[in-house]
C-alpha cells in the first residue's frame, strides 16, 4: 500500500466520522428558560419559565415534549 493510498483512506475515514456525528440545532442567543428543547428541535416559549420545566413544541403530528432551557 502506497503512502498516497493510505492518506486517501485516512481522509475518507476522517470525513466519514465527522459527518456521522449527530448535529445540534442552531439556537439563537436567548435568556435562560425562554426556549423549549425537544429531542429533535426547539421552539421559543411565550414567556420565561424555570430552566428544566417540562414544555412542548407543536410538531406536524402533535405536541413534542421537551425541557425549557
Q: How many structural domains compose the chain?
A: 1
Model pLDDT, residue 21: 55
In a domain, 44, yes or no: yes
In a domain, 12, yes or no: no
Partnered with residue 66 across adjacent β-strands are: 55
In a domain, 18, yes or no: no
The boundaries of the domain holding residue 28 are 24-69
CB distance 40 to 24 below 8 Å: no
In a domain, 65, yes or no: yes
String of DSSP letters for 27-64: -----TTSEEE-SS-EEE-SS---TT-EEEEEETTEEE
In a domain, 43, yes or no: yes
Q: Is the pLDDT of residue 45 over 80?
A: yes
Cα 63 to chain centroid, rounded = 18
Ranking 13-22, 33-42, 50-59 by mean pLDDT, the lowest is: 13-22
Cell 486517501, located at residue: 8
pTM comes to: 0.62
Phi, psi of 20 (to 5 degrees): -85, -15
Model pLDDT, residue 32: 94
Amino acid at each position: 500500500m502506497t503512502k498516497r493510498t493510505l492518506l486517501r483512506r485516512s481522509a475518507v475515514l476522517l470525513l466519514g466520522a465527522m459527518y456521522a456525528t449527530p448535529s445540534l440545532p442552531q439556537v439563537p442567543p436567548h435568556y435562560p428558560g425562554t426556549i423549549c428543547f425537544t429531542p429533535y428541535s426547539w421552539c421559543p416559549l411565550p414567556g420565561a419559565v424555570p430552566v428544566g420545566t417540562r414544555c412542548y413544541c407543536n410538531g406536524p403530528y402533535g405536541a413534542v415534549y421537551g425541557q425549557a432551557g
